[in-house]
Structure 1
Amino acid sequence: MQIVGQEVDDRLFRNAMGSFTTGVTVITTEIAEEVHGMTANAFMSISLNPRLVAISVGENARMFQYIKDAKKFAVNILSSDQQKESMQFAGQLKEEHEIAFSTYKGLPIIEDALAVVTCELHSEYVAGDHTIFIGHVTGVKLSQKDPLLFSQGKYRELKELQE
């Protein structure tokens, strides 16, 4: 099988993909009464009927095995005031701060998130060095807040356009 795109420089590819502005999520699950989380922006809605979402997790990430073992996960869509939470679960803080968790539909979730989607593992697909986990949605919580955004290697906030 010939792989198209091998001639594309890794840094150029990463920079181009980083130009796509995304929301920021923290994926959470629980194994043996211990909460695990990982910051991710590879998240999307797949289907309304049945309700399915997808997350992409690297094969070397600790969360990879946690999701496989737990067979369920929560997607915490972060609000604009949760940059510290994002950075902590991405391993970017020198000193961790206390994260307020609560439980929803049997899963640990981050309090005050913009939205939460809880899932049972529906299926998984290996795609290169990542696995795409498809989750069957079991619950949704939504708040009225602004989202935390990420683009070109930086956290961003929404700005209203002037007409």
Structure 2
Amino acid sequence: MSEPISNIDPAQLRRAFGMFATGVLIVTTRWGERIHGMTANSFTSVSLNPPLVLICIDHKASMKQALHDSGHYGLSVLAHDQQHLSRHFSSRGSSDLEVSFDELGGMPVVQGALAQFSCRITQAPDAGDHLIFIGEVTDYKHNTGEPLLYFGGGYKQLHKPQVMEACQ
């Protein structure tokens, strides 16, 4: 890794990055005999032909090794009522929360998610303190509903403007 740029405050930079609203997703894979998952918001569609997406995983995250070992990952774009799942997969340690998974292209994906993707890792270039896992989409599903959003350090929902009735 390169030396940090001295005039950039990482905490302030994180706050600035947080001004970009994103969706929230769960990255999953099979690692050994268990399903391994984590919350992420660094997801980008890269290409339609071939169908490619990318996710960014911190070098310190155990998911990095799980993805290297598996070679595949599932992505579940969370709906507005799935904030509890985002919190569950972003914390370390055990929880009593029962998570229901669907199977898509051999990968576990969260039931009820707005969109689900199964991906085969094609590249994993190093980028600073993260790895970029580029995946070829091998299968996908999508549903209707409202997304769970993350902005400014907190969860958000889409605002639906109220339609005013015409005065009579």
TM-score range, shorter chain: over 0.9
| Residue number in structure 1 paired with 2:166 | none
Structure 1: where are the runs of 5+ without partners?
A: none
Task: Quote how far apart the aligned CAs of 1:103 are.
Answer: 1.1
Write the mapping of 1:55-66 to structure 2, written as runs, cut at 5 A: 55-66=55-66
Q: Percent identity?
A: 38
Letter of the 1:117 counterpart: F
- 1:21 aligns to what? 21
* 4+ long deviations beyond 3 Å: 2-6, 92-96
Deviations 1:43-82 (A, max 9, x none): 0000111100000000010100000000000111000010
Match of 1:140 in 2: 140
C-alpha RMSD of matched pairs (Å)? 1.9
- Give the structure 2 partner of residue 151 of structure 1: 151
AA matched with 1:42: S
Are the structure 2 counterparts of residues 20 and 92 from structure 1 closer, same or farther at C-alpha, using a change threshold of 3 Å? farther
Q: 1:160 to 1:55 in 2, by over 3 A?
A: same
* TM-score between the two structures when normalised by the length of structure 1: 0.93
| TM-score between both structures, scaled by the size of structure 2 | 0.90
Distance between the aligned counterparts of 2:6 and 2:83, measured in 1? 34
Write the deviation string for residues 116-157 of structure 1: whole angstroms up to 9, x where unpaired. 111000101100010000000001110001000000111000
- Residue type of the alignment partner of 2:53: V
Give the aligned length.
162
Cα distance in structure 2, aligned partners of 1:128 and 1:99: 33
Give the Cα–Cα distance (whole angstroms) in 1 for the partners of residues 97 and 31 of structure 2.
Answer: 21
Listed as ranges, the gaps of 5+ residues in structure 2 are: 164-168
- Shift in alpha-carbon separation, 1:30–1:10, aligned structure 2, 3 A: same
Is the CA contact 1:87–1:93 (under 8 Å) kept in the aligned structure 2?
A: no
Provide closer, same or farther for how the CA distance between residues 95 and 66 of structure 1 changes in structure 2, counting only shifts above 3 A.
closer
Structure 1: distance between partners of 2:28 and 2:90: 12
Larger Rg: 2
User: Measured at CA, do residues 86 and 128 of structure 1 come closer, stay the same or move farther in structure 2, by a change above 3 Å?
Assistant: same
